[in-house]
Amino acid sequence: MAETQANKYNLTEGGILSKLLLVSLPIMGTQFLQMAYNLTDMFWLGKVGSDAVASAGAAGMYMWLSFGFLLIGRMGAEIGVAQSLGRGDKKAALVYSQNSMFLAIVLGLFFCLPMIFFNKTLAGFFNFREEGVASSASVYLRIVGFAVPLNFITGVITGTFNASGNSRTPFILNGIGLVANVILDPLFILVLDMGVRGAAIATIIAQIIVGILMIAGIFFFKGRPFTHYSLQFSVEKKKVIQILKWAIPLALESILFTFLAMLTSRVEVSFGARAMATSKVGSQLESLSWLIAGGFGSALVAFIGQNYGAGKEDRIRRCVKISAQAMAIWGIMITIFLWFGGSFVFSLFLPGPEMLALGKPYLRILSFAQLPMTMEAVGSGAFKGTGRTIPPSIASIATNIVRPILAFFLSRTSLGLYGVWIAVSATALMRGVWVCLWYVLAERGRSRLGE
């Protein structure tokens, strides 16, 4: 007998590996699409020059910063919807999604205004030495700022779909956005000779396409989480407070992570725009580990959230074990790739011996942190699925505070620019080990207490 739609996305029953893959593969695919999306921009901007890559990279830091605010709505939906569905309470799940949407719209409007009206000040933060880099970054910020509220709405809808067990729909819709970006990037950047401005226009068009499709999906598509989804609802104070309790630690973690990364980038830029361009392209290759692992972590939030709501502790433990094994293998594979093959791929985006002389050591230095980062995603996702968002946030915030300080001092030694990258790799390694150990010790403590 064919599996019904409801049972298909019910993560509290059935084979653990099969259900975990049902959710994780599309999410990891979506994360891979995001990486491909960014690499497409970097590839075509690389044809313009390293300054163009640096401009887009600097502006991208603010888009990354916006993700911390976006997380409030998205994580509210992922945790609230998953746990409510696990308890069999569809009404509460819908309310969590709707209240998360309310927060997303408010925060999206709040964040887009500085990008539109104060973009020159924001771009000037990095203190670029090269003329024109900051100017191009400010143009990029102003254009993409208009799509920020829609991106926040898309985040909640994605979280709602993922929490319900249907991560396939967001994957398909994001894939359509990638195709649009792949087509539009060379058209606007090279054919119309718009450079960084063209990359921003291509990006915002692709984001609008995905946003419109996501909104249509939550209301009309087959496999949508709720039969009837309405934006006419009353804001429930208790639900909003609970969402904020779950999400604010994660939002602060992401915001501080990005801000402190921006401080690190400021130290990096003191060595020239080429250093920024190197790290932006290199970080996209490196994201093969943390984006894919992050996607797996999001799947864990949905899987563990539903099973936590259903009180199935043994199923949660087995899921974490399987996830840790899978992500360990992936982390080792990416480590090998960055050490031996990353420089070849890097040269496709920023060709020339001078850029390769920077790219190869960058990738090798960062390779040491890949396994800990993939394992961090497992521990962090497991914590979040049970609503314990504070531990991974503490570990992240603490190590990220150390990062720019360490980068500053190491850069003043004979290591120079390499010191900045060593600081990035060392703190990522430290964070991954910390989160994993904390989760293991916390679970042992719960077992002793008989929880």
Domain count, the chain: 1
pTM (2 d.p.): 0.75
The residue-averaged pLDDT of 203-216 equals: 94
Residue 436, in any domain of the structure: yes
18 alpha carbon, distance to own chain's centre = 24
pLDDT of residue 414: 93
Amino acid at the residue 105: I
What count of other Cβ atoms lies within 10 Å of the Cβ of residue 106?
A: 15
421 alpha carbon, distance to own chain's centre = 21
SS3 227: coil
247-251: Cβ within 8 A, 24+ apart: 247/71, 247/72, 247/73, 247/75, 247/76, 247/79, 247/389, 248/72, 249/389, 249/390, 249/393, 249/394, 250/71, 250/72, 250/75, 250/384, 250/389, 250/392, 250/393, 251/68, 251/69, 251/71, 251/72, 251/75
Q: Decide if 165 contacts 11 (C-beta within 8 A).
A: yes
Helix segments in 118-194, DSSP class H: 119-124, 133-145, 148-163, 168-186
pLDDT of residue 7: 59
Residue range 269-312, pLDDT digits in tens: 888 878 878 887 888 788 778 777 887 787 888 888 888 888 88
Residue 7, in any domain of the structure: no
> Does 4 have pLDDT greater than 60?
no
Which residue in this structure is represented by tokens 């394992």? 375
> Does 191 have pLDDT greater than 80?
yes
> Does 174 have pLDDT greater than 90?
no
Residue 323, in any domain of the structure: yes
Confidence of residue 448 (pLDDT cuts 50, 70, 90): low
Mean pLDDT of the chain: 86
> Does 41 have pLDDT greater than 50?
yes
Q: Decide if 289 contacts 330 (C-beta within 8 A).
A: yes
Residue 451, in any domain of the structure: no
- Select the more confidently predicted residue: 57 or 151: 151
Residue 3, in any domain of the structure: no
pLDDT of residue 143: 95
Residue 1, in any domain of the structure: no
> Does 16 have pLDDT greater than 50?
yes
Residue 309, in any domain of the structure: yes
Residue range 196-205, pLDDT digits in tens: 999 999 999 9
What 3 state SS string does 246-304 have? HHHHHHHHHHHHHHHHHHHHHHHHCCCHHHHHHHHHHHHHHHHHHHHHHHHHHHHHHHH
What count of other Cβ atoms lies within 10 Å of the Cβ of residue 228?
A: 7
Residue 325, in any domain of the structure: yes
Residue range(s) defining the domain that contains residue 129: 12-446
